[in-house]
Structures are given as structure tokens and as C-alpha cells.
């Protein structure tokens, strides 16, 4: 992914983390609360098999759609 697209996707993921703050279900593994920013990054990596910056530019729209889905469906 180009540095420009990588920066744009990262900012989008950070915004998603902001929107998820306080909305993720509690977990016994995270007694102090869950980190919504890490949640978004980990979910993207699990879904696509690579870190967002290691994915090709032609997947940017798909990544952003998935991030939107994560915000709409906190888990």
C-alpha cells in the first residue's frame, strides 16, 4: 500500500476506534476495559491475513467497508 493510502486507512481506523470507545462488550481477559483501537487493527489483520499497510491499494475500499462494519457491529 502506498504511504498516502496507508496514512488515510490508519486515520480511518483511529476514527473507528474513537467511535467504538465504550461500546465493546466487557471481557474477563480485559478487566480494565478493551482497547477499541487495538480491536480494529487486530480484526483487520485477522480478516485480511495481513496488517492493513501490507495489503494492496486496490483493497482500500474493502478495508474501509469492513472497518465501518466493525463500528456498526461491536463485538
DSSP string spanning 10-57?
A: HHHHHHHHHHHTTTSPP-TT-TT---HHHHHHHHHHHHHSS-GGGS-G
pLDDT tens digit at each of 75 positions of the chain: 999 999 999 999 999 999 999 999 998 898 888 999 999 999 999 999 999 999 999 999 999 999 999 999 999
Q: Please report, for the chain, the start and end positions of each structural domain, with discontinuous segments joined by +.
A: 3-21+33-72
How many residues are listed for the chain in this entry?
A: 75
- Write down the pTM of the prediction: 0.93
Amino acid at each position: 500500500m502506498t504511504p498516502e493510502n496507508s496514512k488515510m486507512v490508519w486515520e480511518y481506523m483511529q476514527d473507528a476506534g474513537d467511535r467504538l470507545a465504550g461500546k465493546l462488550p466487557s471481557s474477563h481477559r480485559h478487566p480494565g476495559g478493551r482497547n477499541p483501537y487495538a480491536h480494529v487493527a487486530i480484526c483487520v489483520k485477522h480478516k485480511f491475513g495481513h496488517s492493513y499497510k501490507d495489503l494492496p491499494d486496490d483493497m482500500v475500499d474493502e478495508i474501509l467497508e469492513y472497518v465501518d462494519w466493525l463500528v456498526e457491529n461491536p463485538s
